[in-house]
A = this chain, B = another copy of it.
């Protein structure tokens, strides 16, 4: 395809996307296909000769779309939102057009610098302390875009691990590192995202999963007690992952309590995973939910969830970028450049070496909507959730199972888990609405999340 044809096909794709999104509610939310459906529709091997574009797009509509779960559908209320907006799509288009790989500053200076600046913009907008911003005078911190919250949790745990091992090594220079590693203990709540468990598996460290209180919030004294017990056993607490806005029920760990408690355990890394809820802190009236952030070493939120930015765009800030990167630096000659010492090289901030120009889409979203536009979007979703909560409360057959602070409502039929499973299965089988379950206080609940950018009250009525 040459640029002349791309002019035509690009415009057709723009039109296809518009029509897809404009008529989405005519489609079923979820597909009615069984595993293996697509292999019966596509050939076993790639074509030898190139095919005409029209044929390819026909297959998109006739073969791919019937197997798509429509995350942008106004009646998709599962998981959390998958960020999407026109300015964000334009940002990805431009990133693809430029097609640069920003692993080091020199590999494309604008790619690195815009990321640093836009992360400062967003960090400031959601109310992070100045220490987390790269361009504040005297700050040692900064932000980076990662592929996913899983990666944010992993790299901060890796940094904490490196720091803890280094410290232990000074105290016990002749002990084998594997033995030191076996002493390390990380902590999170039972309500933390499964990625904390995955990160601990990868880091090969023990993870103690703690019971939250009845509001699904991890409390400071629960943590302190566990850490003291473990220290008595000769173990070394090194990392705590807290959550603001859990996946199950959008509950909030008692960050301030935990931060205060950790003062007695110097050197323990405090991470805050606010993948969903963190985006909401862009609203002044919700910033109280961030209380305690002054104790944290790192913080992540996903604009690709709730800030109208397409996946992948998971933003991570750290208070001390040297502590982060020291766990990940490897430096061969073919990646060195004249400014290696003076500039940020984001390849040391995460697992992958190569990186897209992801800050473009976030920059486009922040500028095109402005902070006020994004606040309105967040507030609209919260209103929809509140409205849904009211509707549930009016119906005596149901009960609400979480404190509805943001866009997620957990509810259930009063009765057994089995009854609720059957009820949810029936709803999902209709393919008119899509929701997923969670376990809250060991009960099966149904999660309703406000998701679509332009959903109205009718979509939730």
Contact = CB atoms under 8 A, between A and B. Distances in A.
A439 B315 CA distance: 35
Contacts of A339: 34-35
A100 interface: yes
Interface of A: 1-3, 5-7, 9-11, 13-18, 20-22, 31, 33-39, 42, 44-51, 53, 55-56, 60, 63-72, 79, 82-90, 92-94, 96-101, 105-111, 113-114, 116-117, 120-122, 124-125, 135, 147-151, 154, 158, 161, 176-183, 193-195, 197-198, 201-204, 247-248, 304, 310-312, 327-328, 330-335, 339, 342-343, 351-356, 360, 364, 366-373, 436-439, 444, 447
B109 A83 contact: no
Contacts of A98: 20, 68, 70-72
B354 A311 contact: yes
Tallying the copies of this chain within the complex gives 2
Contact of A13 (B35, B90, B125, B439): B90
B93 A3 contact: no
A176 B343 CA distance: 42
A183 B331 CA distance: 26
Given A79-B334, A178-B183, A193-B332, 16 more contacts: A10-B17, A13-B94, A35-B113, A36-B113, A44-B120, A47-B371, A50-B368, A63-B110, A64-B110, A64-B114, A83-B99, A99-B311, A158-B202, A194-B330, A311-B355, A351-B351
Contacts of A64: 110, 114, 360
A251 B74 CA distance: 53
Contacts of A67: 108-110, 113
B99 A46 contact: no
Contacts of A177: 182, 204
A78 to B, nearest CB: 8
A334 B31 contact: no
Contacts of A45: 120-121, 124-125
B154 A351 contact: yes
A334 B33 CA distance: 21
Contact of A53 (B36, B55, B368): B368
Given A310-B96, A330-B198, A10 B3 contact: no
A344 B87 CA distance: 33
Given A22-B3, A49-B372, A371-B48, A201 B92 contact: no
B93 A125 contact: no
Nearest to A90: B13
Given A86-B5, A99-B83, A38 B179 contact: no
Contacts of A182: 176-179
Contacts of A310: 96, 99
A339 B36 CA distance: 11
A351 B36 contact: no
B101 A367 contact: no
Given A3-B18, A18-B6, A35 B109 contact: yes
A6 B86 contact: yes
A89 B100 contact: no
Contact of A113 (B14, B39, B56, B369): B39
Given A48-B372, A182-B176, A88 B94 contact: no
Contacts of A113: 35-39, 67
B21 A97 contact: yes
8 contacts: A31-B110, A33-B109, A53-B87, A67-B110, A71-B99, A84-B99, A181-B204, A311-B355
Given A86-B1, A311-B101, A370-B51, A69 B39 contact: no
